Structure 1
Amino acid sequence: MFSEPDEPTASRMRTARTTACTALGIQDRAEDPIWGYEGRTLSGRVTSTDGDEWLRIVGATEDRAKGKLWDGPRTAEEALPAAVPRPALHRLLDWTADGWGYRAELYEHTPLGVVSRSPVLEHDVDLPELWWRGLPLALDALAGVATFREAVREEYIRRVVPEFTGHAVGEIQWSTAHGDCHWANLAGPKLLILDWEGWGTAPVGFDAALLHIYALQTPDTAARVRQALAHALDDPAVHVAELTVCAQVLQAADRTPFYAALAGPVRHYLTALENKAA
């Protein structure tokens, strides 16, 4: 999803992956491993005595190797119902080396591919009807999960929405969300939702709003999202979620190419929201 980081980071993370494979008794089979943002994660296929699995390495300085993002996948495995489709987390391994903390997460392997290599859709997607029917069911099941985790903080919303959209934030209704439910975190043609680092409470309809806005460059898919998630996107309470996602995109547009490409459609979408409210 992201490009390979600088050589010191890449070398350190590859060493951590080798360390994890040795400690877990697995073989690295990743021909094209997947990098996370700035090399924070490194993921790819492995094999064990049970067959194919998926190994994700997370790295952070020792003082940051804890907290919400660190424990997101573990708590998701423990708290989320089977109605929220995701790869099963089999084993965890933590260790430190040279001032860095690492976590190895060993998952069920799936032959399914991500819907998009980029979080933001650049081309319309062809997904089966069963996938589209399953998406609202999964997000509704997630929305009802009780948690003390926060995916999006109220203080952040009330600061960035006026700053980047010019809109005021009124009352916020909350539910539980994935928090980063973009197109590179969805698998198909069978629906799976990946990467549970940041799940927690967010404005009602946040995941639906994010998927719709991240599809604005592909009108046919954006329309399909609106159709599949109409019960969420047509709820007036989702307005705060839409404004928050727009603000996030515009805030990051000067440093992330796919957000820069989405900034124009987002501004048009904000205008449409203003006209709708008028």
Structure 2
Amino acid sequence: MTADTRVPRSVPRLRLRGVLDWTAPDGAYRAELTEYMPVAPVTSGSPALAQDIALPDAWWSDLKNTLGTLATVPTERKSVRQGWVDRNFCRFLGIDPVQIRQTTTGHADLHWANLTHAPLVLLDWENWDASPSATTSASYTRTRLPRSDRLPDPARVRPRPEHRRRPDSSRSLSSSRTCSRGVHRTLACRAENHTGIPVPAS
């Protein structure tokens, strides 16, 4: 709910219309009702691209400006902490963990099923937070086509230079983290090809 109240309206997203919280023996739950979205996401059924796409330059400009605005929003929300990095870098990537030296507020789940065609709207905000720099562009990178010549490099949409910190590690860790839950086999294959390490099960 904090994204609806704390993120500027210039960041294109659906307006929140209602929230319902409840608890059950197996956990706590929240359902959110948003306004209707008439524009289709770039992909559906999977966050990964199955074929090349053509998006206008204005769309990419809007995305870059959106991420730049979002990066300025202060928040105490954090989903990736140093302890998680220490535990999982070796497990997923086979390398020593890096130190989180800088975080940037971002969407944290930026992929093609969470982006609409023009006009641009960002969907699925429950994970937005201050993440290690490069997380947002890593989420985008992991889901575009391998060796795609038509889609821009993530540098085109990164709003700040610090997003370049360890992009390959961030990309692979982001993919492996998601795929370890047993979903998105296409992404798992890409992560395994990049790291040479099978994605472990959760």
Report TM bin, short chain: 0.7 to 0.9
Tell whether the 8 Å contact from 1:214 to 1:262 is kept in structure 2 after alignment. no
Tell whether the 8 Å contact from 1:123 to 1:218 is kept in structure 2 after alignment. no
Cα distance in 2 for partners of 1:100, 1:208 equals: 32
Structure 2 residue corresponding to 1:260, chosen from 184, 188, 196: 188
Quick check: 192-201 or 116-125, which moved more?
116-125
Amino acid at match of 2:154: R
Name 1:247's counterpart in structure 2: 173
Name 2:64's counterpart in structure 1: 136
How many residue pairs match? The answer is 192
Structure 1 residue corresponding to 2:126, chosen from 194, 197, 203: 197
Identity rate of aligned residues, in percent? 32
Structure-2 change in CA distance of 1:103 and 1:220 (3 Å): same
Displacement of 1:236 after TM fit?
5.7
Cα distance in 1 for partners of 2:88, 2:26 equals: 34
Tell whether the 8 Å contact from 1:149 to 1:200 is kept in structure 2 after alignment. yes
Cα distance in 1 for partners of 2:121, 2:192 equals: 30
| Structure with more strand by fraction | 1
Cα distance in 2 for partners of 1:94, 1:212 equals: 34
RCO comparison, higher one (Cα < 8 Å, 6+): 2
Displacement of 1:240 after TM fit?
3.7
Structure-2 change in CA distance of 1:151 and 1:188 (3 Å): farther
Structure-2 change in CA distance of 1:231 and 1:87 (3 Å): closer
Structure 1 residue corresponding to 2:117, chosen from 183, 188, 195: 188
Cα distance in 1 for partners of 2:93, 2:29 equals: 37
Displacement of 1:181 after TM fit?
1.1
Name 1:121's counterpart in structure 2: 49
Amino acid at match of 2:114: N
Structure-2 change in CA distance of 1:225 and 1:111 (3 Å): farther
Cα distance in 2 for partners of 1:120, 1:102 equals: 27
**Normalization by structure 2: what TM-score?**
0.81
Cα distance in 2 for partners of 1:129, 1:85 equals: 17
Structure 2, unmatched stretches of 5+, are 197-202
**Normalization by structure 1: what TM-score?**
0.61
3-state SS of 2:14 partner: coil
Displacement of 1:192 after TM fit?
0.6
| Structure with more helix by fraction | 1
Structure 1, unmatched stretches of 5+, are 1-73, 269-278
Structure-2 change in CA distance of 1:100 and 1:264 (3 Å): closer
